[in-house]
Amino acid sequence: MEVRGGRTDSAVLVPLYRDPAGDLHAVFTKRREDLRRHAGEISFPGGRRDGDETLIETALREAHEEVGLAPDDVEIVGALAPVGTFVTGFRIYPFVGVIDHGFEWIVQEAEVAQVLELRLEDLLAGHSVKRLIRRGIAFRTDVYEVGGHTVWGATARILGDLLARTTGAPPPQPLG
What pLDDT sits at residue 71?
97
Domain ranges of the chain: 8-119
What pLDDT sits at residue 122?
96
CB 69 within 8 A of CB 99: yes
Beta-ladder partners of 11: 47, 93
DSSP result, 114-144: EEEEEEHHHHHHTEEEEEEEETTEEEEEEEE
Question: pTM of this prediction?
Answer: 0.90
CATH for the stretch 8-119: 3.90.79.10
What is the block-wise mean pLDDT of the chain (176 residues), using blocks of 10 residues? Answer: 67 98 97 73 93 96 97 97 82 97 94 95 93 76 93 93 87 55
